[in-house]
Amino acid sequence: MLLFLEQLLNGLQFGVTLLLMASGLTLIFGIMNLINLAHGSLFMVGAYVGATAIAHGSGFFLGLLAGVGAAAITGMVMEFVIMRRLYRRDHLDQVLATFGLILFFNEMVSIVWGRQPIAMDPPAFLSGTVEFIPGAPYPAFRLAVIATGILVTGFLYFLVMKTRIGMWIRAGASNREMIGALGVNISLLYTLLFGFGAALAGLAGVMAAPFSAVQSGMGENILILTFVVIVIGGIGSIRGAVAGALLIGLTDTLGRVYIPDLMRLWLPPSVADGAGASLASMMIYILMAVVLAFRPRGLFQTHG
């Protein structure tokens, strides 16, 4: 039972990382109608810059800020130079151009930082454990990640739904010309929004860095999972992103732990471990196929 709770929290923590990625990506898609494969590259930029700053003794918060800032600036430059030429293109063009960006960023990172992965430790003040469930000490850093993710998502929801900027953004999504005619600088707004989504990806990158090797190509693994999240949730929907992220985070984490155990009930252990591991890694894609087979536009569909 305690193990289950611990795995549940791990799943939640992974889900929150996915959520930070997915909320940025789904906003950019829902509002600008743009598929950005290079969103994973922003995650990678955040992780690299954050890890490097911390390794050079910047302290955790300054490092976090550096990572988030670097991702945001990279994102805004990307939007200004390339993305704004693609808003009116079809999705195929967007996929290809951003595929080109991925190649560029992955290679650029290995030019600057080399091909060896770099490691990052969680900050000292969060390196301990918290025993908030009696008998199950849980790493404080993972809890901090969960809390940050929840706070940021709440802020995002507030920003888009309750503020004037959010209103402009939503208005721009439904009619770009009209909001421009009303005197709102929509292209600046889009650049800022893109930068904001990039900052979220950078934040996810820095926070995920202690759990995984920081290396070239790290962005694509999470990018594909993020796509699964937003497709399951319904593209463009923040609520859908939340639901999808939790679903995928929990399915993936719990699946890896329990599916091999479950398989052992029916199969000899040697077969069960192999088949279980393989089924666990395919689980989320199977889940996605099932969801889309019944709801082709995701759980919370927004576009008609």
Partner 1 sequence: MVKNISRKSWSTITIFVVLALVPPVAHAFDNSFLITMFNRAVIYAVAAVGLDLIIGFGGMVSFGHAAFFGIGAYTAGILGTHAFDGSDFIFGWTGSNDAFVVWPLAMLVAAFFGLIIGLISLRTSGVYFIMITLAFAQLFYFFFVSLSQYGGEDGLSLWDRNAIPGLDLYDRNTFYYLCCAILLAVWFLLSRLVGSRFGRVIIGCKQNERRMRALGYDPLLYKLTAFCISAAIGGLAGALIANHSEFVSPGLLHWSRSGELMVIVILGGLGTLVGPIYGALALFLMEESLVSFTEHWQVILGPVLILVVVFFRGGIVGFLSGAGKATVKSGGDHG
Task: Report residue 239 as tokens.
Answer: 């609520």
d(CA 33, CA 42): 19
CB atoms within 10 A of CB 209: 27
59 binds partner 1 (CB under 8 A): no
Q: Cα torsion for 224, 229, 233, 239, to the nearest 10°? A: -130
CA 147/CA 13 separation, integer angstroms: 9
The CB-of-233 to partner 1 minimum distance in angstroms stands at 12
Strands 129-133 and 136-139: antiparallel
As a whole number of angstroms, the distance between CA 43 and CA 209 comes to 10
Identity at 29, one-letter amino acid code: F
Task: Select 89 or 125, whichever has its Cβ closest to partner 1.
Answer: 89
Rounded to the nearest 10 degrees, the angle between the axes of helix 39-55 and helix 218-233 is 130
Provide the minimum distance between the beta carbon of 234 and partner 1 in the complex, in angstroms, as a whole number.
Answer: 9
182 binds partner 1 (CB under 8 A): no
Q: How many residues bind partner 1 (CB under 8 A)?
A: 44
Rule CB under 8 A: choose which of 35, 209, 222, 263 binds partner 1.
35
Q: Is 262 in a helix, a strand, or coil?
A: helix
Q: Which of residues 65-104 bind partner 1 (CB under 8 A)?
A: 82, 85-86, 89, 91-93, 95-97, 99-104
Are the C-beta atoms of 82 and 97 separated by less than 8 Å?
yes
Instruction: Decide if 142 contacts 13 (C-beta within 8 A).
Output: yes
Residue 288, interface with partner 1 (CB under 8 A)?
yes
Q: Candidates 15-23, 141-149, 172-180, 289-297 — which segment interacts with partner 1 by CB under 8 A?
A: 289-297
Could you say whether residue 261 binds partner 1 (CB under 8 A)?
Answer: no
Closer to partner 1 by Cβ: residue 55 or 96: 96
From the CB of 142, what's the least distance to partner 1, in Å? Answer: 25
Nearer to partner 1, 82 or 159 (CB): 82
Q: By CB under 8 A, is residue 222 in contact with partner 1?
A: no
**Nearer to partner 1 among residue 170 and residue 297 (C-beta):** 297
How many whole angstroms separate alpha carbon 141 and alpha carbon 120?
13
> In this structure, what token pair is assigned to residue 164?
């004037």
Q: Is residue 128 involved in binding partner 1 (CB under 8 A)?
A: no
Where along the sequence are the contacts to partner 1 (CB under 8 A)? 29, 35, 82, 85-86, 89, 91-93, 95-97, 99-108, 110-111, 220, 224, 227-228, 231, 235, 274, 277-278, 281-282, 285-286, 288-289, 292-293, 296-298
